[in-house]
Amino acid sequence: MKQETFGQYITRLRVALGFSKAELARQTGMTRDYIGKIEDDHQPSSGEPPNVGEDNLRALARVLGVPESEMFRRGYRPPQGYALAPIEYETDPDLQMVVEAYRGASDNGRRHIKGAAELALEVSREGAVGRHAE
């Protein structure tokens, strides 16, 4: 059985809610043409699936009534040359909370969250938790 594409997923949710492409576009703040490109799973210039931005994924999740984490899992493609490490954050509630906070944060907030995560990782690698300088 062939796996459902992101475009097919969006179409299925839209149709189940009884929305036209124009209505989904209006409620998400996107254009009808862009919704069509997402549902068709391609960009005319490259034939590749469209790279749907984070704000648009959030808007689709909100309007279509699905968790943001599910929308990102199905539709987020990192920029070319950028690879995400596979993380099953759904199984770790603390990590899931951090990821959701990061996704909802401003650029400045994201810098703070990233800095705190990098510091926590460095401290955990060095085993410095609870140590005092002598």
pLDDT tens readout for residues 34-59: 999 899 887 656 666 677 888 899 99
pLDDT digits (tens, 9 = 90+) for 12-35: 999 999 999 999 999 999 999 999
Return the domain boundaries, the chain: 1-84, 85-134
How would you label 32-61 residue by residue, b for 16+ Cβ within 10 Å and e otherwise? eeebebbbebeeeeeeebbebeeebbbbbb
Q: Which superfamily is assigned to 1-84 in CATH?
A: lambda repressor-like DNA-binding domains (1.10.260.40)
Q: Which sign does the torsion angle of CA 89, 95, 98, 102 carry?
A: negative
Q: What is the DSSP string of the chain?
A: -PPPPHHHHHHHHHHHTT--HHHHHHHHT--HHHHHHHHHT--TTT-SPP---HHHHHHHHHHHT--HHHHHHHH--PPTT--PPP--GGG-HHHHHHHHHHHHS-HHHHHHHHHHHHHHHHHHHHT-TT----
The pLDDT score that the predictor gives to residue 1 is 63
The number of residues in the chain equals 134
Q: For residues 81 and 85, what is the distance between their CA atoms, to the nearest angstrom? A: 13
pLDDT digits (tens, 9 = 90+) for 69-90: 888 888 876 655 555 455 555 5
Instruction: List the structure tokens of 35.
Output: 């919704």
Tell which residue, 97, 13, 7, 105, has the closest CA to residue 61. 13
The pLDDT score that the predictor gives to residue 111 is 77
